[in-house]
Chain A
Amino acid sequence: MKELRLMKGNEAIAEAAIRAGADAYFGYPITPQSEILEYLMAEKPEERTGMVVLQAESEIAAINMVYGAASTGKRVLTSSSSPGISLKQEGISYIAGAELPCLIINVVRGGPGLGTIQPSQADYFQATKGGGHGDYHLLVLAPASVQEMSDFVKLGFDLAFKYRNPVLILSDGAIGQMMEKVELFEQQERLKYFDPSWTLTGKTSGRSRNIITSLELDPARQEKHNLRLQAKYRQMEEVEVRYEQIDCDDADFIIVAFGSSARISQKAVRIAREKGLKAGLFRPITLFPFPKSEISSLADRVKGMLSVEMNAGQMVEDVRLAVNGKIPVEYYGRFGGMIPTPDEVVEALEQKLVTV
């Protein structure tokens, strides 16, 4: 039954994982997302739904535990923050190559290296351009509220199994730590059916053995495999794009922002409008597939776009690609854990686009 609660973003992820009928969570502590593992341990979901929670010896071990469990068809997830997600890249590449469903959550902190524990959005490239080696994509969801932290866990699992592909929730330290009200969804059933065409559940006499691997030494076959993966990603681009538009209908200038930057930019749009500036906010929800055609259409009727992000300029490249030179595209950001204020965003909009 649905339930309204005041929760921290990280806790909402954890509670949603239990309610989504996850079979297991494997994780490792790292700030600012350790509450996910802590909440799960304290909740004892083994008693609620039979869900396994295990603290692994490293992020590398955790992603490989996910790989193992996912290869048997189970609904599993892991979470970490930037440096830990870097550690997981090999495992993620394997999971994508082997076409397994799973959910990975990145509560992004400032980098590079050990960086800071403050929020950031500097893992956009890592999340959307592959991150690990080889030609693959994760389906990337960017929540901008604690409500979306909860909802995207269920959505993420559904999409992961729909495409047999890993799904990444790209959050940040601000959303992970902030408290907002959440309407939690009903408890879903744990999986009872395991597709015999690929899941490793033990070879019965009724079928040939299933092999989960990302190895293919024959280049012609490996190319065919890659073409199949690419077709999958094109399909995602066709039907899974998600975004939100606020005040874009009559806007002259559009701010493009995701996650916490979108929350800040939403306020910036209001301030701008009060000053007589017709600004609007375009918030991509799926970072892959990126809302290219929607942004391209907007570029046909507005005067300029400003990408606002907590990094040195990553999503702006995708905005520029989508706009394809039709109108000016500028970028404003803070990094290293600094968070822009709405006033800074308005000032950037005025200086970089309006007065030019």
Chain B
Amino acid sequence: METKDIIKPENLVYTKTSLMTDNILSYCPGCGHGTIHRIIMEVIDEMGIQSEVIGIAPVGCSVLAYDFMDIDMAQAAHGRAPALATGMKRCWPDKFVFTYQGDGDLAAIGTAETIHTCNRGENITIIYINNGIYGMTGGQMAPTTIPGMRSSTSPYGRDVITMGYPLKITDLVACLPGTYYVSRQAVHKPGAVRKAKKAVRMAFENQKLKKGVSFVEFVSSCNSGWKMTPVDANKWMEENMFPYYPLGDIKLDGELIKTQSKKTADHD
């Protein structure tokens, strides 16, 4: 059978969801944002909730997320997306409200909003992209930059004595009673993408339960900021970021998952 015989409309098994707009993504080649945007839109498409969803874009590389996601969206001040989400969800309890934030947005300037929104247990979804660097502004250190990692403001590597330790904010919010589902995912390999999409699906379905925040962290790469090729960046991420930010469910159905080893069911 020839390739041209295979490429027929009836044989199509996968194409990008129509809920991604036609705009070419402004992200760097290999950036996880594109993949993560797409799986969120696939979930919204499959759940049939496009007309019930309101998303909030942050300040950061994904500030223009609303150019790529075909849903109603607001652009929030740096770090404040969870506050916007609170305002929206309190006024529209049956809409699906989600924030999409980077590590500076959620774990530096927005720390108070992150913690208090989780503490109040707002029935929203928080999507948190952690690539250990500030991409949009040119590659500065983030709260989640790992020790020894170089950035434009830690040119000799992060020194924990003067610059502090990587902030594991996901683990912090998991300890709050207001979070219902907390998970850490990645999109560097097809298997990871499939698992991540399941996590995103759960994070949105949970809003129907009205039991608190569903918080999904994505450990991602920034090959531009890290100054590597996309393939090398993913490898570096696996070897260096994952030990600090291990993948898997951290809290499920409102219960912390007790031991790390029990998470093997969720990731390879």
Do A215 and B80 form a contact, CB below 8 Å, given A24-B87, A24-B90? Answer: no
Q: Which of B88, B90, B112, B116 contacts A200 (CB 8 A)?
A: B88
Q: With the chains together, A56 CA to B51 CA distance in Å?
A: 28
Find out whether the CB atom of B72 lies under 8 angstroms from the CB atom of A23.
no
Find out whether the CB atom of A54 lies under 8 angstroms from the CB atom of B90.
yes
Asked whether A209 is an interface residue with its Cβ less than 8 Å from the other chain, the reply is: yes
Find out whether the CB atom of B75 lies under 8 angstroms from the CB atom of A213.
yes
Find out whether the CB atom of A202 lies under 8 angstroms from the CB atom of B54.
yes
Q: How far is the CB of B6 from chain A (nearest CB, A)?
A: 33
Q: How far is the CB of A68 from chain B (nearest CB, A)?
A: 3
Q: With the chains together, A70 CA to B54 CA distance in Å?
A: 13
Asked whether A65 is an interface residue with its Cβ less than 8 Å from the other chain, the reply is: yes
Q: With the chains together, A26 CA to B52 CA distance in Å?
A: 24
Q: Which of A26, A54, A212 contacts B75 (CB 8 A)?
A: A212
Q: Which residue of B lies closest to A65 (CB)?
A: B87
Q: How far is the CB of B243 from chain A (nearest CB, A)?
A: 32
Q: How far is the CB of A170 from chain B (nearest CB, A)?
A: 23
Asked whether A120 is an interface residue with its Cβ less than 8 Å from the other chain, the reply is: no
CB-CB under 8 A from A94, the residues of chain B are: 77
Q: With the chains together, A199 CA to B51 CA distance in Å?
A: 13
Find out whether the CB atom of A212 lies under 8 angstroms from the CB atom of B74.
yes
A12-41 CB mask vs B (1 if < 8 Å, else 0) is 000000000001101000000000000000
CB-CB under 8 A from A205, the residues of chain B are: 51
Find out whether the CB atom of A74 lies under 8 angstroms from the CB atom of B91.
yes
Number of interface residues, chain B, beta carbon within 8 A: 33
Find out whether the CB atom of B91 lies under 8 angstroms from the CB atom of A24.
yes
Do A61 and B112 form a contact, CB below 8 Å, given A67-B84, A72-B54? Answer: yes
Q: Which residue of A lies closest to B75 (CB)?
A: A213
Q: How far is the CB of A24 from chain B (nearest CB, A)?
A: 6
Do A71 and B70 form a contact, CB below 8 Å, given A64-B83, A94-B77? Answer: no
Find out whether the CB atom of B112 lies under 8 angstroms from the CB atom of A57.
yes
Find out whether the CB atom of B72 lies under 8 angstroms from the CB atom of A209.
yes
Most buried by A among B57, B74, B86, B87: B87
Q: With the chains together, A57 CA to B79 CA distance in Å?
A: 14
Q: With the chains together, A62 CA to B86 CA distance in Å?
A: 10
Q: Which residue of B lies closest to A93 (CB)?
A: B77
Q: How far is the CB of B207 from chain A (nearest CB, A)?
A: 13
CB-CB under 8 A from A204, the residues of chain B are: 51
Asked whether A66 is an interface residue with its Cβ less than 8 Å from the other chain, the reply is: yes
Q: With the chains together, A212 CA to B88 CA distance in Å?
A: 13
CB contact list, B34-72 vs A, under 8 A:
50-54, 56-57, 63-64, 66, 69-72
Q: With the chains together, A90 CA to B63 CA distance in Å?
A: 17
CB-CB under 8 A from B71, the residues of chain A are: 202-203, 209
Do A214 and B75 form a contact, CB below 8 Å, given A200-B54, A203-B50? Answer: yes
Q: With the chains together, A212 CA to B76 CA distance in Å?
A: 9
Find out whether the CB atom of B113 lies under 8 angstroms from the CB atom of A64.
yes
Find out whether the CB atom of B53 lies under 8 angstroms from the CB atom of A202.
yes
Question: Which interface class (under 10, 10 to 19, 20 to 34, 35 or more) fits A?
Answer: 35 or more
B6-22 CB mask vs A (1 if < 8 Å, else 0) is 00000000000000000
Q: Which of B52, B74, B91 contacts A76 (CB 8 A)?
A: B91
Most buried by A among B50, B54, B84, B88: B84
Asked whether B193 is an interface residue with its Cβ less than 8 Å from the other chain, the reply is: no
Q: How far is the CB of B240 from chain A (nearest CB, A)?
A: 33
Q: Which of A23, A62, A202 contacts B91 (CB 8 A)?
A: A23
Q: Which of A57, A66, A209, A210 contacts B87 (CB 8 A)?
A: A66
Q: Which of B57, B86, B95 contacts A54 (CB 8 A)?
A: B86
Asked whether A319 is an interface residue with its Cβ less than 8 Å from the other chain, the reply is: no
Asked whether A131 is an interface residue with its Cβ less than 8 Å from the other chain, the reply is: no
Q: With the chains together, A70 CA to B95 CA distance in Å?
A: 15
Q: With the chains together, A252 CA to B86 CA distance in Å?
A: 55
Asked whether A280 is an interface residue with its Cβ less than 8 Å from the other chain, the reply is: no
Most buried by B among A72, A76, A214: A72
Find out whether the CB atom of A61 lies under 8 angstroms from the CB atom of B54.
no
A/B interface sample: 21 pairs, CB < 8 A: A24-B90, A52-B91, A57-B113, A60-B112, A64-B87, A67-B77, A71-B84, A72-B54, A72-B91, A76-B87, A91-B77, A200-B72, A200-B73, A202-B54, A203-B51, A204-B51, A209-B72, A210-B72, A210-B73, A212-B75, A215-B63
Interface positions of B (Cβ within 8 A of A): 50-54, 56-57, 63-64, 66, 69-77, 80, 83-88, 90-92, 95, 112-113, 116
Interface positions of A (Cβ within 8 A of B): 23-24, 26, 52, 54, 56-58, 60-62, 64-72, 74, 76, 90-91, 94, 98, 200-205, 209-215
Closest 10 CB pairs of A and B: A68-B84, A68-B87, A64-B83, A65-B87, A69-B87, A213-B75, A64-B80, A57-B116, A200-B72, A212-B74
